[in-house]
């Protein structure tokens, strides 16, 4: 442990006094030995900064608390600084030993084949290896206004993992850049974009009040015409909490003569049997899409169809790219509450796109 005062002692007496009596405690999660939480305290401190010693971004907090998940085991030096101002601070460091995470056993569930009669497999990601392929990029931050939905999370690259043949997006309760939650949002924009076909996505979904996972698409002309004129296809979205844990929706959003329109409320969601949830095991969320209609299936059970031949639905006859994300809070699910358990994970086994021969 050592102490640093981040201001010159020769400075004018008018300089703010640095904080005093800085100390912090490190708690390692029982469920995940690579996750830590920090509680720091100091006198005369206006804010704190946390450096977790692995090259990741520094986290700032007003209340002295922060959480972080390491990507690998090892010995790390955690540095905490208590600030009166940006340049007037004291700093303390401690060592922490991070253990390997126990191999997670992923559940079984429904699966689909790699070929269908009359179709070609034109793109797939089986999430092999240890990182995302070049087909994906991250969207970072809050979108300026909670991504248009008053969401509460800050999207970071660090909340995405590729391991054991799966994509894992983790929503965490942690203070980062003024937000109380973090998660990830990945897209295939300008990398993989498609018009029509069969899309299969096999996934286990996160659960809890305020948790909002989605597997969806935006029109490839989004940057030019904006939303909703580009069109939005929600292959799957789930609004977490209570009996909603066994329901998923498939919806469209578009511009109808200058007015935002959607199929919200048209048709019933897909529901599992009582007592089951989409977090229990893998399910396959399928979109069947051609020039005339879009159909939604879960585990090959058709539950929703929309006719896209009307002129004001022409957006859905163009190319679209994928977005996978787990939001926290927002207009639809509301905020997490005392029943919400963190971290929450969406695990994706594969995404496959087939097109007619």
Per-residue pLDDT of the chain (357 residues; tens, 9 = 90+): 344 445 454 444 578 999 999 999 999 987 678 889 999 999 999 999 999 999 998 999 999 999 888 888 899 999 999 999 999 999 999 999 998 876 667 789 999 999 999 999 999 999 998 899 999 999 999 998 899 999 999 999 999 999 999 999 999 999 898 999 999 999 999 999 999 999 999 999 999 999 999 999 999 999 999 999 999 999 999 999 999 999 999 999 999 989 999 998 888 999 999 999 999 999 999 999 999 999 999 999 999 999 999 999 999 999 999 999 999 999 999 999 999 999 999 999 999 999 999
**pLDDT score recorded for residue 175:** 87
Nearest-CA neighbor of 263 among 274, 281, 271, 251?
Answer: 251
Residues in CB range of 198: below 8 A, 6 or more apart: 116, 119, 286, 287, 288, 289, 353, 354, 355
CA pair distance 103, 194, nearest whole angstrom: 35
Structure tokens at 89: 């601070």
Check residue 13 and give its pLDDT: 57
Active site residues: 232, 237
Q: Rounded CA gap, 197 and 119, in Å? A: 8
**In angstroms, how far apart are the furthest CA atoms of the chain?**
81
- Yes or no: say if 138 and 155 are a contact pair by the CB < 8 Å rule: yes
pLDDT of residue 9: 47
| Residues 100/35, Cβ–Cβ less than 8 Å | no
Report the C-alpha gap between 253 and 237 in whole angstroms: 13
What pLDDT was estimated at residue 33? 86
Distance between CA atoms of residues 297 and 300, nearest Å: 5
**According to the model, what pLDDT value does residue 67 have?**
87
List the domain boundaries for the chain: 4-98, 119-356
| pLDDT on residue 1 | 38
CATH number of the structural domain 4-98: 2.60.40.10
According to the model, what pLDDT value does residue 2 have?
43
CA gap 167, 286 in Å, rounded: 18
Rounded to whole angstroms, the Cα distance separating 287 from 267 reads: 16
Third-level CATH fold of 119-356: Jelly Rolls (2.60.120)
């Amino acid at each position: 442990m050592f102490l640093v005062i981040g201001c010159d002692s020769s400075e004018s007496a008018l300089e703010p006094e640095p904080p005093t009596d800085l100390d912090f405690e490190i708690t390692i999660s029982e469920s995940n030995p690579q996750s830590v939480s920090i509680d720091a305290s100091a006198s005369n401190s206006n804010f704190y900064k946390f450096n977790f010693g692995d090259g990741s971004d520094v986290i700032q907090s007003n209340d002295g608390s922060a959480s972080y998940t390491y990507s690998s085991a090892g010995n790390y030096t955690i540095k905490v600084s208590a600030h009166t101002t940006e340049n007037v601070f004291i700093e303390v460091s401690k060592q922490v030993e991070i253990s390997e995470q126990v191999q997670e056993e992923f559940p079984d569930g429904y699966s689909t084949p790699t070929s269908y009669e009359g179709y070609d497999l034109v793109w797939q990601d089986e999430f092999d290896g240890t990182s995302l392929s070049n087909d994906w990029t991250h969207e970072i931050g809050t979108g300026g206004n909670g991504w248009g939905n008053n969401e509460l999370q800050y999207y970071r690259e660090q909340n995405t993992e590729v391991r054991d043949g799966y994509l894992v997006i983790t929503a965490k309760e942690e203070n980062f850049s003024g937000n109380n939650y973090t998660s990830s949002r990945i897209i295939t924009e300008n990398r993989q974009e498609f018009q029509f076909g069969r899309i299969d996505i096999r996934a286990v979904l996160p659960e809890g009040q305020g948790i909002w996972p989605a597997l969806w698409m935006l029109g490839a002309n989004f940057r030019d015409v904006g939303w909703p004129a580009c069109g939005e296809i929600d292959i799957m979205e789930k609004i977490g909490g209570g009996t909603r844990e066994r329901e998923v929706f498939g919806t469209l959003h578009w511009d109808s003569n200058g007015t935002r329109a959607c199929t919200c409320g048209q048709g019933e969601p897909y529901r599992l049997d009582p007592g089951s949830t989409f977090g229990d095991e893998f399910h396959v969320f399928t979109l069947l899409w051609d020039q005339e209609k879009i159909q939604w299936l879960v585990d090959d059970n058709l539950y929703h169809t929309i006719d896209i031949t009307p002129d004001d639905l022409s957006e859905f006859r163009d190319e679209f790219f994928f977005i996978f994300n787990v939001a926290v809070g927002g207009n639809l699910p509301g905020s997490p509450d005392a029943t919400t358990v963190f971290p929450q994970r969406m695990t994706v086994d594969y995404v496959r796109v087939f097109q007619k021969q």
